[in-house]
């Protein structure tokens, strides 16, 4: 069994890790931390987990994380990097669901996240944890930076086009929508029911933190420089993400459907849907599945790619477990085969 620690277990990604790991055949959660809820039983805080865990949340200072095989950080930015050197020196693998190990350039990290990087020397060995694009690197890594939710949809939607060299890479557009759980479990005015419900709005139009991450990861797949307009939106639903991606075709003689089907053939968590499909967010709810549909409106020179995922699963906790499976030589699908919940 893999001995697992979870730092920051009371947020949405933390409880999602607990839900998914409870069904994992090789996972044994040994420790879960929370300063605020230290001493509280997991099942008392999350009744959905009754009968699955006898653990109580513990203060981080009282937990021996070095005795774990892997530690998930479901924490704000800055926490994982503060403990990374000590844990990796003890032979512990790290999967960070925040941004500490997503960007390779410490200067870029500091610009977008407003803090110096605590261990820039470890960035070079950290693997970016998008298995469909970085599977071999994840297998060999002792530190994995789990991708952001938006970047997961954007990269998997654009990469087949970039690799084929058939779009204008200087003018990509990503029009993305997320449920409110993407902002985390916190008290904030814009996330209150009476503010978010029956409403729809864009945010971070001047620049979102996921932009530099996405551009950095798209660049190796393109022969020409990549530039993108990325606009995120908040929609009045709890979980789910829908990204509509646009690019101008530089070649119109390519079978786009076949291109996507070939690129993701055999991928257990990427479903390229039949021509004309319109994937919706509820088709992936609570699952690790990401669905893609590719369109060429009016047979013109514009390609539209529709991508949906559950932002808390494939966009966060599920993808983190997918990475853990790779790091420990397990079947990539272990613990992640639950079907979407409908309605």
Q: What's the residue count for the chain? A: 343
Active-site annotation holder among 68, 119, 149, 176: 149
CA 127, CA 134: separation in Å to the nearest integer? Answer: 8
Nearest to 34 by CA among 45, 24, 23: 45
Place of tokens 């993808």: 319
Q: In the 8-state DSSP scheme, what is residue 174?
A: E
Q: Which two tokens stand for residue 191?
A: 């996330």
Q: Which two tokens stand for residue 100?
A: 């500490």
CA 301, CA 121: separation in Å to the nearest integer? Answer: 44
The yes-or-no answer on residue 149 being catalytic is yes
* Sequence-ordered alpha helix ranges (H) in 79-176: 79-89, 106-113, 131-140, 149-164
Place of tokens 């991708």: 147
Percent helix, strand and coil across the chain, each to the nearest 5: 40, 20, 40
Per the DSSP assignment, residues forming a β-bridge with 33 are 7, 58
CA 308, CA 284: separation in Å to the nearest integer? Answer: 7
Span between the terminal Cα atoms of the chain, in Å: 34
Catalytic residues: 149
């Amino acid at each position: 069994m893999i001995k697992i620690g979870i730092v920051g277990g009371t947020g949405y990604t933390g409880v999602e890790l607990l839900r998914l790991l409870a069904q994992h055949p090789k996972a044994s959660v040994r420790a879960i931390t929370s300063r605020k809820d230290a001493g509280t039983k997991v099942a008392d805080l999350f009744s959905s987990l009754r009968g699955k865990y006898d653990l109580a949340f513990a203060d981080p200072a009282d937990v021996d994380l070095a005795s774990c095989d892997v530690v998930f950080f479901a924490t704000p930015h800055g926490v994982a990097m503060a403990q990374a050197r000590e844990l990796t020196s003890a032979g512990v693998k790290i999967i960070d669901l925040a941004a500490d190990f997503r960007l390779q350039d410490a200067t870029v990290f500091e610009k977008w996240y407003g803090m110096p990087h605590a261990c820039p020397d470890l960035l070079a060995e950290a693997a970016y944890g998008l298995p469909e694009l970085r599977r071999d690197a994840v297998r060999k890594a002792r530190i994995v930076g789990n991708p952001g939710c938006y970047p997961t949809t954007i990269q998997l939607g654009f990469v087949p086009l970039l690799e084929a060299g058939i779009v204008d890479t200087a003018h990509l557009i990503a029009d993305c929508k997320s449920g409110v759980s993407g902002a985390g479990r916190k008290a904030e005015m814009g996330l209150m029911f009476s503010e978010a419900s029956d409403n729809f709005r864009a945010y971070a139009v001047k620049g979102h933190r996921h932009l530099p991450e996405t551009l950095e990861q798209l660049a190796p797949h393109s022969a020409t420089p990549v530039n993108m307009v990325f606009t995120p939106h908040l929609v009045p639903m709890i979980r789910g993400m829908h990204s509509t991606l646009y690019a101008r075709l530089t070649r119109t003689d390519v079978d786009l459907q076949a291109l996507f089907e070939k690129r993701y053939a055999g991928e257990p968590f990427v479903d390229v849907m039949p021509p004309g499909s319109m994937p919706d967010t509820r088709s992936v709810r609570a699952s690790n599945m990401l669905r893609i549909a590719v369109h060429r409106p009016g047979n013109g020179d514009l390609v539209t790619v529709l991508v949906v995922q559950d932002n808390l699963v494939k966009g966060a906790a599920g993808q983190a477990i997918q990475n853990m499976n790779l790091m420990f030589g397990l079947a990539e699908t272990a613990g992640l085969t639950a079907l979407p919940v409908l309605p």
